[in-house]
Amino acid sequence: KLEEFLNFKQLKTSLKEAILLDYFTAGFWWAKEMNFSLIQLSGFMDLLNFLLENLSDKHMALGDNLKELGKAMGGIGETDSERSGDLNFFSIEQAKAVIDYL
């Protein structure tokens, strides 16, 4: 199903498509094993895509990409609405697990 969702047409002959499918499938199953809710699962998959785009499209160095991850995860668990980020649906423990996974 993920192959269809990602619109991969040459999975059997394209190493790039095979690697991307593996990347997203591994992330999806990890998030499922963490018992993430649908919104958390969606947010995690968005995060995987965001980090991959930073590498592939922006040619961002690993250190810079990790800084972007820190910005995206910043504010999780804080009550100040200005400080809490878009990923505030993760608990602090879940955010730590996401960072460890990545």
How do residues 17-32 score in pLDDT, each as one tens digit?
A: 888 888 999 999 999 9
| pLDDT tens digit sequence for 43-62 | 999 999 998 899 888 898 88
- pTM score, two decimals? 0.77
Cα–Cα distance for residue pair 25/23, rounded to 1 Å: 6
Domain residue extents for the chain: 2-101
Predicted confidence (pLDDT) at residue 65 exceeds the cutoff of 50: yes
Better-predicted residue by pLDDT, 85 or 74: 74
Q: What is the pLDDT of residue 83?
A: 46
What string of H, E and C letters represents the secondary structure of the chain?
Answer: CHHHHCCCCCCCCCHHHHHHHHHHHHHHHHHHHCCCCHHHHHHHHHHHHHHHHHHHCCCCCHHHHHHHHHHHHCCCCCCCCCCCCCCCCCCHHHHHHHHHHC
